[in-house]
């Protein structure tokens, strides 16, 4: 009877170990997915605010139908600059032109290299770089 109990104990230990590894991997992948969702939401918020900036007259602090002078808003960590950070990742404005600009996001989780969003007056497209 002692050998059967020892075998059963070893078998249960192996099963619990495998279940723990699967649970840790599942949790990690869910955390990465949540971070990517948060970064995409941040990009959508940046695009929405930028489109409002685009249509606002320059006299009122807007772009006057141009993205050429767009920067991150004053409530970002580096206000008035082309770079911002938050717990979700880092964001960099580039390729500013009258009709569009890009925002490159680097997620904090490292799940993907970057997400590049191109924002225009009435549209936003995202491309994920692995």
Digitized pLDDT (tens) for each residue of the chain, 130 residues in all = 678 888 889 999 999 999 998 888 887 778 888 999 999 999 999 999 999 999 999 999 888 999 998 988 655 555 568 888 889 999 999 899 999 999 999 999 887 888 999 999 888 888 877 6
pTM: 0.77
* Domain boundaries defined on the chain: 2-129
d(CA 102, CA 118): 4
In eight-state DSSP terms, residue 59 is G
Q: Which residues contact 130 (CB under 8 A, 6 or more apart)?
A: 112, 113
């Amino acid at each position: 009877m002692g050998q059967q109990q020892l075998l059963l104990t070893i078998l249960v230990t192996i099963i619990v170990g495998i279940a723990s590894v699967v649970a840790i991997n599942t949790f990690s992948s869910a955390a990465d997915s949540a971070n990517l969702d948060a970064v995409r939401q941040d990009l959508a918020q940046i695009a929405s605010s930028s489109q409002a900036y685009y249509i606002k007259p320059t006299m009122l602090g807007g772009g006057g139908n141009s993205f050429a002078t767009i920067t991150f808003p004053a409530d970002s960590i580096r206000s008035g600059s082309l770079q911002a950070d938050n717990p979700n990742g880092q964001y960099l404005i580039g390729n500013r032109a009258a009709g569009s600009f890009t925002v490159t996001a680097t997620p904090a989780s490292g799940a993907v290299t970057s997400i590049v969003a191109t924002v225009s007056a009435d549209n936003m497209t995202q491309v994920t770089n692995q």
